[in-house]
Amino acid sequence: MESSKLHIPLLLILQAFIFFPSTQSASNNSNLFREYIGAEFKNVKFSEVPINSGVEFHFILSFAIDYTTSNSPSPTNGKFNIFWDTDNLSPSQVSAIKSKNSNVKVALSLGGDGVGNGYAYFNPTSIQSWISNAVSSLTQIIQDYSLDGIDIDYEHFKTDPSTFAKCIGELISTLKKNKVISFASIAPYDDDQVQSHYIALWKSYGHVIDYVNFQFYAYDKGTTVSQFLKYFYTQKSNYNGGIVLASFISDGSGGLAPDKGFFTACSRLKSEGKLGGIFVWCADDSKGLGFKYEKQSQSLLAISH
Ligand SMILES: *[C@@H]1O[C@H](CO)[C@@H](O)[C@H](O)[C@H]1NC(C)=O
C-alpha cells in the first residue's frame, strides 16, 4: 500500500518527459481567429459574422487613417480620423457584440492601402509630433468605441524604416503603458519596401507586438500548398519568436484560396505546432459567400468544451 502512493509522482514525472521532451517541441498553436471589417461599405454588421465559442475572436475595424476626411484627403501628421462604415459599425454595435460574446474583442487598423483616389502614406512631419498626435487622437477613438487593440497596416511610406519603427513602436508602447490597448498586431506582406519597414519595427519593438497578420494573400493567385508552407516558414523566421497567423482573402484575388488547399496547409501547420491563428480579409466580401470559410476556419482552430 505504501509503495503504490510513491508511484504516483514518479508516473507524473515520466509522463511529463514523454509529452514534453524539451521546450523546443512545445506547441505554439493558438485558437485566435481575426477578421477585418468595414472598409468597403457593403453594410456588413458584426452580428452577421458567425462566432464559434471555442475561438478567441477579434474584429479589426478598417481603417483609421491620419488624413483629412475631405474630398481630396491630405496627411494630418498623426491626427487620426475614422474611415470605416460607422453606420453599421458604431460604438453601440461594438458594445452589443462584446456583451453577447465573451470571446470577442474589437481592434482598429491603421493605414491601409488607399485613401480617396490615392495611396495612404505613412508621412509624419516629425517623430515627436507624430507620436504625440497619434497617441491623443487614437486614445479618443479607442475609448469612444471601447476597443481593445490596434493593428498596423501602413503599406506606403514617405519615411525611412527607422522613423517608421520609432513612431509606431513608441505609439504601441505608450498606448499599452496607458492601458488604452491590451494587444497590438502588424500586417506586412512580401514586398521589399514594406518588409524593410516592418522588420525594422520588429527588431526594435517586437516585444510590444503580439501578433503578425502576415498578408499571405498578397502572394500570387494560385499559390500551392507547398509554396504556402514555404512562405509561412520564411515569414515565421523573419518575425522570429512572433505569433504568425495564416490568412486568405475572400474575394479570391490572391494567394492560396480556401477551396484550393488553404485548410490543408493550416492543418499541416497545426500538426507541427506552428499555427498562430487564422485571419481573413474581409467580412465585407465574405458576406456574399455566407461566411462559409469563416465557419471552416473557426472549426479548425476551436478548442472544444
Ligand atoms: C514555439 O516557440 C518557441 C519560442 O519562439 C520556439 O523555441 C519553439 O521552437 C516553437 N515550437 C514550435 C513547434 O514551433
Q: pLDDT for 249-301, tens place per residue? A: 999 999 999 999 999 999 999 999 999 999 999 999 999 999 999 999 999 99
The closest-lying atom of ligand 1 relative to the alpha carbon of residue 274 is 14
State the distance from the centre of ligand 1 to the C-alpha of 22, rounded, in angstroms.
10
Q: In the chain, where are the structural domains located?
A: 33-302
* 63: preceding bond cis by omega (within 30 degrees): yes
- Say if ligand 1 is within 6 A of residue 290 CB: no
Q: Which residue carries 514518479 as its cell?
A: 10
CATH H-level superfamily of 33-302: Glycosidases (3.20.20.80)
- Give 90-138 pLDDT, tens digit per residue: 999 999 999 999 999 999 999 999 999 999 999 999 999 999 999 999 9
Predicted local confidence at residue 24, as pLDDT? 55
- Helix (H) or strand (E) segment spanning residue 150: strand 149-154
Q: Confirm whether 155 is a catalytic residue.
A: yes
Distance CA 42, CA 47 (A): 14
Catalytic residue among 35, 155, 170, 294: 155
- Give 187-222 pLDDT, tens digit per residue: 999 999 999 999 999 999 999 999 999 999 999 999
Residue 9: exposed, middle, or buried by beta-carbon count in 10 A (0-12, 13-18, 19+)?
exposed
